[in-house]
Chain A
Amino acid sequence: MDMNEIKEIFFQECEEQLAELESGLLKLNDGDRDPETVNAVFRAVHSIKGGAGAFGLDDLVAFAHVFETTLDCVRSNKLEPNQDVLKVMLKSADVLADLTNAARDGGYVDESRSRALVKELEALANGEVPVASAEAPKAQPKPAVAAPTDDSGFQPIPFNFDGFDEDETPADAGQVYEISFKPRRDLYSKGNEAALLLRDLSRIGEMSINCDLESLPDLDKLDPEESYVSWMISLRTTRSEDEIRAVFEFAEWDCDLEVRAAEASPSGEELPMVPVPFDLSILNDDASAEAPAPSPTRDAAETPAAAAETATEASKMAAAAARVERKESAAATAAAAAASNTAAAAAGQTIRVDLDRVDRLINLVGELVINQAMLSQSVIENDTTGTSSINMGLEELQQLTREIQDSVMAIRAQPVKPVFQRMSRIVREVADMVGKSIRLVTEGENTEVDKTVIDKLAEPLTHMIRNAVDHGIETPEKREAAGKDPEGTIKLTAKHRSGRIVIELVDDGAGINRERVRQKAIDNDLIAADANLTDEEIDNLIFAPGFSTADKISDISGRGVGMDVVKRSIQALGGRISISSRPGQGSTFTMSLPLTLAVLDGMVVTVAGQTLVVPLTAIVETLQPEAAAVHSFGANQRLISIRNSFCPLVDVGRILNFRSTQANPVEGVALLVESEGGGQRALMVDAIQGQRQVVIKSLEANYTHVPGIAAATILGDGRVALILDVDAVVAASRGQSLKPEMSLAATG
């Protein structure tokens, strides 16, 4: 792993942290005051800052730092996270996301916005109420938040390690310091060791040590954790006093330390003690290999050297209990290691896999399904006994293939949460732009759907949300005048329903202005001036190509892009969309999408000599029409009576132009289907071949969208079969042409 890979991990993690941040802030916004929620929010920003710092992403660090400081105030209950505060924080989360993107691939950052937010955040941290208007009193210049006050008295000292590798300090220069070092008990209990500190000290100069053992008690009275030994050190070094103190940085509070420059002459002879090179070998695992050269003053040094050794021993004693135990328990360690491995495995039950690998697996399984089907078919064709073990083996293979496919698909299933979370930002920003007050409520965000669907969901959903904020919800004034809560609500829900995911977008706005929509449709030649349309049909006119209810092209809802584009992108996903609206109370958009774009459970049928696949989810039941149940209706309509109600019969072969005259219903099979908002229809096909899971293949990849056809698949015989778009066929059966575009509104 190199730094670039870690950087990529960092950005992935940022995405997760940003999602965490936003969902936490939204929880706080809903009144959640769980300290853990605040902590999680704080941690998210803290983590981003930490990683960004490591990669030198200064802009990101600077903003995250200010944000973190303000969040810390919330954490320590100095700042109440009320709506105004959270508004600033949610905006800050957005800017943090922008900065992250900018750091990743140079995305756009609105710098004036980020500067303004830094000011707002700092004001909050300084205990000022959010500035509501430009006339609010100017923030008093206070000490910048970024300049920390160090209440513990600790001063960060840049520690210079440059000298560590130097073999010796030049003797011709330097100052002699006298250092008195008396560790307290706490020094050892925090895992520091006097010997190590002395070792480090010895590295920055020439040193002699005098060990004071006076307070060392008799062995039987010795508390191995108490500190009895103190040292007087004489150090000749070119370093400053600060640098000497920095050696004791970690131990500063747990010892009595005095450092003072000796007034003696620079020559060593006048030192109060005989200088002895501090023997570091005792600290090395491999002492013999690195034993220092014998000191020229070895004889004279004997006593202090012994003292130093004693000192080291004494400090070692402090940890003795632990060390002994460590050895004793060596055997138990292996077992413990095994146990902890299990624990670690339980804690981390996810792995990250490159999406390409999963996609490759899915494609391979798709091929496997087709091959298995082809194999089955050829065995059936060639095997007349029908009871052979081959047949049984094939059935098992089919079962296994199916299970493998389901499991593989499950790998790619993801909750819609990230997409929903993105929407809350869009609501905030657009509402801000148009001066509306809107809250977004989400439900069912853990509903899972294939990643490919999720990726393609964001765009149409974004468009719809913008539309709802811009056109759906009224201004606060209008809402108040209408006796509504000045704050509008947009509710976004996701749920599974009969093998599809249904996403609903409900706003409590004014609803569709049918008069205006109708007039617009007439003006645009979408409908005849005297067309007789139901409310539902008028509402659905907004999906007509080129239809846009905004009188002016709005930057918010997109430049000339209308709901027809939304409808088309939903259809491209094999989905459908409809709207229902109640004047004055709001609109509901309902989208239904397949859970995956890869496979489909279908009924394989024959129509005019062609093999077609009808999605099983659309089929309510199948029936064999009897002559008595089929009734002619008008010039060329036919109805079938099912349990005392009449349902229009639709000849699929005729609709798809596979034949020029209608087939005789009695000779075929009727599939009773239910379409999104379209009621029931009986689709006439010639025969049913069977049910099968099919692998969905795009027609658009090499060709184009085909009206009435959702996609293609490859059957057991290796030939392409088309998958019927039931909704489009039903819509066409209402007298609407499949060409050029099966929009409800395209007709008059």
Chain B
Amino acid sequence: MSYAVKSVSQGDRELIAFRIGDQEFCVNIMSVREIRGWTPATPLPHAPAYVLGVINLRGAVLPIIDLSARLGMKASEPTARHVIIVAQVKSRVVGLLVEAVSDILTITDDNIQPVPEVSSDLEKQYAWGILAIDKRMICMIELGSLFPETESEAA
């Protein structure tokens, strides 16, 4: 059964799925601006380990987040095969480093299963649902919770 060909109607969601290591994640397609190849980032002093630095996106300075590290997994070693998902998170635009984009999904809320009780706070924080599609398990990520408005936090 293919989900991608279904036309989007009321209650449908479109998601972009991507791979980090052997896991699959997805985010709402509405928050994705573009997908681009990896370019070396300029490191920022005193930044958290998951902030790889900043790149120039047509004149704007864009922070690049190693999503793997941010999700508590091992830090990526970016290569030319990696891609950056440029996403709008609240008022900001960030670049998310992932290994590859795997799918574009159209689902209904019926496809979403609740996140099982797990011990880790981190997973509870960012995961808000799980999709079971073609025997794959895809974790739905809430980007807003990964990147709170950091103005006061940093100051």
Contacts and interface: CB of A to CB of B under 8 A. Distances in A.
A–B direct touch in complex (beta carbons closer than 8 A): yes
Interface of A: 363, 366-367, 370, 545, 568, 610-611, 656-658, 697-709, 712, 714, 718-722, 738-741
Contacts of B41: 720
A1 to B, nearest CB: 35
A703 B151 CA distance: 8
B92 to A, nearest CB: 5
B94 interface: yes
Interface stretch (B5-13, B58-66, B111-119): B58-66
Contacts of B151: 700, 704-705
Given A699-B54, A709-B44, A739-B46, A704 B154 contact: yes
Nearest to A607: B45
A738 B155 CA distance: 11
B61 A712 contact: yes
A719 B56 contact: yes
A702 B93 contact: yes
Given A702-B63, A719-B56, 9 more contacts: A657-B45, A697-B59, A697-B61, A703-B51, A707-B46, A709-B44, A712-B54, A718-B56, A741-B155
Contact of A714 (B53, B56, B154): B56
Interface of B: 40-47, 51, 53-56, 59-63, 92-94, 150-151, 153-155
Given A702-B93, A704-B154, A720 B56 contact: yes
Nearest to B155: A741
Given A703-B61, A706-B47, A712-B54, A722 B42 contact: yes
A700 B62 CA distance: 10
B40 A703 contact: no
A366 to B, nearest CB: 7
A701 B150 CA distance: 11
Nearest to B53: A720
Nearest to A658: B45
Nearest to A713: B61
16 contacts: A363-B59, A366-B59, A611-B42, A658-B43, A701-B61, A701-B92, A702-B62, A703-B54, A703-B150, A705-B155, A718-B56, A719-B56, A720-B41, A722-B45, A739-B46, A741-B155
A721 B46 contact: no
Contacts of A707: 45-46
B78 to A, nearest CB: 15
A656 B45 contact: yes
A396 B44 CA distance: 35
B128 to A, nearest CB: 24
A720 B45 contact: no
Contact of B44 (A370, A701, A706, A741): A706
B45 A709 contact: yes
A508 to B, nearest CB: 33
The 6 closest A-B pairs by CB, nearest first: A656-B45, A704-B154, A703-B63, A720-B42, A704-B150, A702-B92
Contacts of B46: 656-657, 706-708, 738-739
Contacts of A702: 60-63, 92-94
Contacts of B44: 699, 703, 706, 709, 722
Contacts of B53: 720
Contacts of B45: 656-658, 706-709, 722, 738
B59 A699 contact: no
A719 B93 CA distance: 18
Nearest to A366: B59
Contacts of B42: 610-611, 712, 719-722
B18 to A, nearest CB: 20
A740 B150 CA distance: 13
A740 B153 CA distance: 9
B134 to A, nearest CB: 35
B45 to A, nearest CB: 4
A629 B113 CA distance: 69
A545 B155 CA distance: 9
A709 B51 CA distance: 16
Contacts of B59: 363, 366-367, 370, 697, 714
Nearest to A564: B155
Contacts of A657: 45-46
B92 A610 contact: no
